[in-house]
Amino acid sequence: MELLLAHPAIKAFMCGSLSGTCSTLLFQPLDLVKTRLQTLQGGVQPGSGRVGMMTVLQSVVRTERLLGLWRGVSPSFARTIPGVGIYFSTFYSLKQHFFQDSSPGPVGAVLLGAGARTVAGVSMLPVTVIKTRFECGRYSYRSVTGALRTVCQTEGPAALFSGLMATLLRDVPFSGIYVMFYSQTKASLPTEISTSPSAPLANFTCGILAGVLASLVTQPADVVKTHVQVNPRLRTVEAVRCIYVEHRLQGFFRGAVPRTLRRTLMATMAWTVYEQMMARLGLKS
């Protein structure tokens, strides 16, 4: 057991899982607001005027109390804790295998991030589907395991992989773009900054920049993914058509503000915590 825990990839998994736990608990309200905006739920209906992040936030607090902002946190934990662990352990393993003696360039960074996210995204997709349904407010599931069982019995196991294409189109480019911008901006920092006590703060700033850019590029795919997972009878192409017919191009950017805030802060915090923990364990992240 001790030998297993001593394996670098296992340590990367544990570091990633801890970073995912912290970021999920802090930023779950932003994810819920983003999902409600994209599906126009939670007491806010079409035709009620301009719908913004604060409108949905106030509506959730008014109808579901403050704790309603953490609705879906259980499936978020069930997805993020192992999911981020899988992501970072896969990232670490791929980097050690292909770039053991060198730092990856822009293309290599994109491939590392995309490869790690593909493995984690496919592995955790069933829980992602349940998490999205918890947050949208249309389903009355009581637990993650109960929801998984209900979906399998009523819709079939295939429903747990609804939105797979849209999820990969969102997450794989996001991770690839994020890792590329993050690694390249970090590499461009002056040596006196990257080796100083303020290095974590500088890295955090690099992460913020990378997260904003990656979030905006992949926002349309996130909207499509949400619609497919909430309405499993919709196919990806049909979801794109419905969104465009109902809301035009701006419909593909619904929830962009809370999602950008959440994804940027979560990714930045996860990477900062992960790198600091790996450094304390004597491993190069």
* 73-92 confidence digits (pLDDT tens): 888 888 888 888 999 999 99
Q: Quote the Cα angle for 164-169-170, to 5°.
A: 100
Q: Is the pLDDT of residue 110 over 70?
A: yes
* Alpha carbons 219 and 15: distance in angstroms, whole number: 28
Pseudo-torsion of CA 19, 21, 27, 33, nearest 10°? 130
The residue segments making up the domain with residue 40 are 2-280
pLDDT at 117 (0 to 100): 95
166, 225, 233: which is closest to 35 by C-alpha?
Answer: 225
The pair of structure tokens assigned to 219 is: 């926002």
Q: Do the domain assignments include residue 241?
A: yes
Higher pLDDT: 185 or 231? It is: 185
| Domain total in the chain | 1
Average pLDDT value for residue range 200-208: 88
Supply the pTM of this predicted model: 0.75
User: What residues contact 6, with CB distance under 8 A and at least 6 apart?
Assistant: none
Chain-wide mean pLDDT for the chain? 84
Average pLDDT value for residue range 275-285: 79
The pLDDT tens digits of the residues spanning 86-109 come to: 999 999 999 988 887 778 889 999
The distance of Cα 181 from the centroid of its chain, to the nearest Å, equals 17
Pair 38, 223: CB distance under 8 Å: yes
Q: Do the domain assignments include residue 95?
A: yes
The pLDDT tens digits of the residues spanning 241-260 come to: 988 998 888 889 888 888 88
Pair 197, 237: CB distance under 8 Å: no
The pLDDT tens digits of the residues spanning 153-197 come to: 999 999 899 888 888 888 899 999 999 999 999 888 888 887 788
* Alpha carbons 65 and 152: distance in angstroms, whole number: 31
CATH of the domain at 226: 1.50.40.10
Least confident of 41-50, 63-72, 247-256: 41-50
What confidence category does residue 44 fall into, taking pLDDT thresholds of 50, 70 and 90? very low
The pLDDT tens digits of the residues spanning 123-134 come to: 999 988 888 888
pLDDT at 26 (0 to 100): 85
Distances (CA, A) of 51 to 54, 58, 269: 8, 11, 29
Q: Do the domain assignments include residue 285?
A: no
pLDDT at 50 (0 to 100): 57
The three state secondary structure string of the chain is CHHHHCCHHHHHHHHHHHHHHHHHHHHHHHHHHHHHHHHCCCCCCCCCCCCCHHHHHHHHHHHHCHHHHHCCHHHHHHHHHHHHHHHHHHHHHHHHHHCCCCCCCHHHHHHHHHHHHHHHHHHHHHHHHHHHHHHHCCCCCCCHHHHHHHHHHHCCHHHHHCCHHHHHHHHHHHHHHHHHHHHHHHHCCCHHHHCCCCHHHHHHHHHHHHHHHHHHHHHHHHHHHHHHHHCCCCCHHHHHHHHHHHHHHHHHHCCHHHHHHHHHHHHHHHHHHHHHHHHHCCCCC
Q: Do the domain assignments include residue 151?
A: yes
Pair 261, 199: CB distance under 8 Å: no
What confidence category does residue 234 fall into, taking pLDDT thresholds of 50, 70 and 90? confident
Q: Quote the Cα angle for 183-254-26, to 5°.
A: 55
